[in-house]
């Protein structure tokens, strides 16, 4: 039982004397990838590109693509069920459901509401967070605050996307990068250390680097050169991302007075292997302590961090008690991190 609901940890994340600290802790993880795999060789037949270029510039070999009619909520539901099973909870236990997504099935109801109804978790709070590829980190941060304050006893946090649906398949600069997928975690209150801190940022001044121009006011016209397609200035975004991720990693460690050497794992957003390598180098972490899925998943946006986490938890690399730094960046631009003991 939780004796003290207040969050009064010292900056180090250690309880102040005489106080019981309530953390939110990951009780279980799950993920789901659609069956269909699109290889670089497949893309060579669609746009003017080569497997060698894609691998050298991004590290991506293949990505998964949702089947016709398969939606973000479908992927989210599968990931959620697996996370719930791993955490040993049922739909009746869930009292909060947050979905990070930038590819919701509908404008409304939110994807969280659609998933809630399918799971049978009706009645609890359910909402989407749109922070583009940082969506899962943003969603996790929201849920962490609710659990820590005692308002939620069992939060389901999902990152789910069908980003390939809004890709211009004639634009070789973007279509080789993205894939579909979902990951989820169940957060529960714990007196054992869990999430130490989360750090969220955005700079709307960089909107032009990555955006999708459709919307309620802009309209939803899908024509060549317009419409429901992601626009990106990749090489500019690359530089901004590397700088932002290095800063947020430093920020998370400094806020908890922890040295870089304390980190067991970096679980980064999987956009480009070169960005991941640059962040790891900045942290002085060897690549053996970085979870990499971008080679097989491509960039699954909000799905990428929880997919990587689930893979490494299930294959036994990530162990209970280890210190993890998760980080992400995306359109907005948005970026952020979560430092936690698994």
Rounded to a whole number of angstroms, the minimum distance from the CB of residue 101 to ligand COA is 14
DSSP for residue 302? G
Rounded to a whole number of angstroms, the minimum distance from the CB of residue 37 to ligand COA is 18
Residue 237 touches ligand COA, criterion: CB under 6 A: yes
Residue 133 touches ligand COA, criterion: CB under 6 A: yes
Q: What region does 68 belong to: left with phi over 0, alpha with psi -120 to 50, or beta?
A: beta
In the complex, which residue's CB is closest to ligand COA?
234
Contact pattern from residue 15 through residue 54 relative to ligand COA, giving x for each residue in contact according to CB under 6 A and a dash for the rest: ----------------------------------x---xx
Cα gap 280→299, rounded to integer Å: 18
Strand 23-32: give its sheet, edge to edge. 23-32, 180-190, 155-162, 96-100, 125-129
Tell me the site size for ligand COA, rule CB under 6 A: 21
Q: Please list the residues that pair with 324 across neighbouring strands.
A: 265, 340
Rounded to a whole number of angstroms, the minimum distance from the CB of residue 259 to ligand COA is 29
- By C-alpha distance, which of 238, 291, 299 is closest to 265? 291
Active-site choice (113, 124, 133, 175): 133
Cα gap 65→181, rounded to integer Å: 8
Sole binder of ligand COA in the list 210, 258, 290, 308 (CB under 6 A):
210
Residue 172 touches ligand COA, criterion: CB under 6 A: yes
- 201 counts as catalytic: no
The SS3 call for residue 222 is coil
Residue 272 touches ligand COA, criterion: CB under 6 A: yes
Between the CA of residue 300 and those of 23, 78, 331, what are the distances in Å? Answer: 28, 15, 13
Handedness of CA 155, 297, 132, 22 (dihedral sign): positive
Cα gap 55→62, rounded to integer Å: 10
Residue 211 touches ligand COA, criterion: CB under 6 A: no
Rg (CA), the chain: 19
Q: How many CB atoms lie within 10 A of CB 302?
A: 37
Which residues, 238 to 257, sit near ligand COA by CB under 6 A?
238, 241
Q: How many CB atoms lie within 10 A of CB 309?
A: 27
Rounded to a whole number of angstroms, the minimum distance from the CB of residue 99 to ligand COA is 18
> Residues near 146 by Cβ (< 8 Å), separated by ≥ 6?
96, 152, 155
Residue 201 touches ligand COA, criterion: CB under 6 A: no
Give 91 or 278: the residue with its C-beta nearer to ligand COA: 278
Using the contact rule CB under 6 A, the part of the chain among 91-99, 137-145, 233-241, 280-288 near ligand COA is: 233-241
Sole binder of ligand COA in the list 57, 145, 153, 314 (CB under 6 A):
57
Using the contact rule CB under 6 A, the part of the chain among 158-166, 237-245, 305-313, 314-322 near ligand COA is: 237-245
Rounded to a whole number of angstroms, the minimum distance from the CB of residue 91 to ligand COA is 32
- By C-alpha distance, which of 324, 315, 299, 255 is closest to 162? 299
Residue 58 touches ligand COA, criterion: CB under 6 A: yes
Residue 173 touches ligand COA, criterion: CB under 6 A: yes
> Residues near 243 by Cβ (< 8 Å), separated by ≥ 6?
none
Rounded to a whole number of angstroms, the minimum distance from the CB of residue 159 to ligand COA is 12
Rounded to a whole number of angstroms, the minimum distance from the CB of residue 173 to ligand COA is 4
Give 330 or 336: the residue with its C-beta nearer to ligand COA: 330
Phi, psi of 164 (to 5 degrees): -65, -15
Catalytic residues: 133, 269, 299
Where does this chain bind ligand COA (CB under 6 A)?
A: 49, 53-54, 57-58, 133, 172-173, 176, 210, 232, 234-235, 237-238, 241, 271-272, 299, 329-330
């Amino acid at each position: 039982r939780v004796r003290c609901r207040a969050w009064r940890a010292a900056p180090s994340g250690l309880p102040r004397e005489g106080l019981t600290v309530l953390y939110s802790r990951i009780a279980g993880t799950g993920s789901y990838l659609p069956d269909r795999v699109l290889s670089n060789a497949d893309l060579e037949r669609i746009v003017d590109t080569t497997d060698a270029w894609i691998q050298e510039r991004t590290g991506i070999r293949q990505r998964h693509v949702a089947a016709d009619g398969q939606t973000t909520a479908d992927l989210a539901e599968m990931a959620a069920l697996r996370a719930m099973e791993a955490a040993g909870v049922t739909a009746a236990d869930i009292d909060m459901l947050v979905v990070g997504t930038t590819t919701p099935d509908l404008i409304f109801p939110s994807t969280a509401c659609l998933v809630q109804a399918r799971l049978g978790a009706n009645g609890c709070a359910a909402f989407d967070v749109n922070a583009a590829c940082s969506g899962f980190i943003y969603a996790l941060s929201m849920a962490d605050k609710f659990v820590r304050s005692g308002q939620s006893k069992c939060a389901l946090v999902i990152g789910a996307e069908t980003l390939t649906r809004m890709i211009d398949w004639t634009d070789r600069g973007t279509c080789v990068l993205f894939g579909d997928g979902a990951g989820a975690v169940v957060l529960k209150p714990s007196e054992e250390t869990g999430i130490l801190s989360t750090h969220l940022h955005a700079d709307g001044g960089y909107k032009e680097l990555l955006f999708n121009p459709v919307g309620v006011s802009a309209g939803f016209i899908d024509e060549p050169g317009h419409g429901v397609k992601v626009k990106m200035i990749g090489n500019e975004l690359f530089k901004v991302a590397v700088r932002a991720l290095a800063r947020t990693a430093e920020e998370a460690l400094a806020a908890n007075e922890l040295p870089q050497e304390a980190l067991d794992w970096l679980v980064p957003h999987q956009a480009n292997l070169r960005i991941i390598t640059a962040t790891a180098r900045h942290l002085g972490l060897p690549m053996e302590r970085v979870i990499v899925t971008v080679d097989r998943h491509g960039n699954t946006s909000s799905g990428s961090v929880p997919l990587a986490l689930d893979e490494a938890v299930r294959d036994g690399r990530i162990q209970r008690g280890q210190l993890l730094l998760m980080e992400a960046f995306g359109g907005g631009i948005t970026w952020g991190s979560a430092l936690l003991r698994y």
